[in-house]
Amino acid sequence: MNPEARHVRSPVATRHSLLSRLKQSNAQESWREFFDAYWRLIYTTGLKAGLTDVEAQEVVQETVLTVVKKIKSFHYDPAVGSFKGWLLTIVRWRIGDQFRKRPRQIQPPSPRWGQEMSGTATLERIPDPSPINLDALWEEEWQSALFAAALLRVKRQANARHYQMFDLHAIKHWSVDKVAQTLGVSAGQVRLAKHRITALMRREVARLEKEEEKRWGLAKALAH
């Protein structure tokens, strides 16, 4: 589990605020579903990009509002770009907005620079966050969200005993012997359970990836 994930706040307040801003929409319930599907991905990306909690929450709201405004004029074409890429572009804009909103800081120049400017000048600049690869960060968070969604689906459909063995061994990283001893099963049963649940996970991840076009359809429907 990523350390940052433990600090992610409840989305309730952010969602209420967002929905109040969308009160003119005829599809508040559908936008609530859209928010629930993507808020954590957007929020965590903002935090890892260097934003504060408040700034990251603002990015979540502004991203969804931008989707509401822009989706009508965007035509989905898998050959041109993906929903994931389009959403990243919006998130990138909104993260940049937050950095630009930060107040300017007055900092003393370096000694050498100050001497060249008669020792009286000050350097005014907007804080420049450390460069990050937002594309790589977004991909990492997207895959993490995809895995979590697939895991939830598998948990609902899998044999409870098999899932328990998989969870202890593959997710919590218990040894095969420890799982077998704790649950009173054989090592072979633990390995078989892991194999079966892993196969289910792969199918669910593939299914979720294929649902991208459906998500576009949902977003387009919400725009009307």
Summarize pLDDT for 137-196 with one digit per residue, the tens. Answer: 999 988 888 888 889 889 999 999 999 999 999 999 999 999 999 999 999 999 999 999
Residues 154 and 173 in one domain: yes
Predicted pLDDT at 68: 77
Residues 23 and 110 in one domain: no
pLDDT tens digits for range 96-141: 999 999 887 544 444 343 333 344 333 334 444 446 788 899 999 8
Give the residue-averaged pLDDT of 82-91.
Answer: 84
pLDDT tens digits for range 4-32: 444 444 454 545 555 455 545 555 566 66
Predicted pLDDT at 52: 94
Report if residue 2 sits inside a domain. no
Structural domain harbouring 96: 9-101+133-222
Give the residue-averaged pLDDT of 65-75.
Answer: 73
Residues 97 and 108 in one domain: no
pTM: 0.61
Q: In terms of Cα–Cα distance, which of 145, 140, 150, 148 is closest to 201?
A: 150
Residues 172 and 88 in one domain: yes
User: 5-9 long-range CB contacts below 8 Å, 24 or more apart?
Assistant: 5/44, 7/47, 7/53, 8/40, 8/43, 8/44, 8/47, 9/53, 9/57
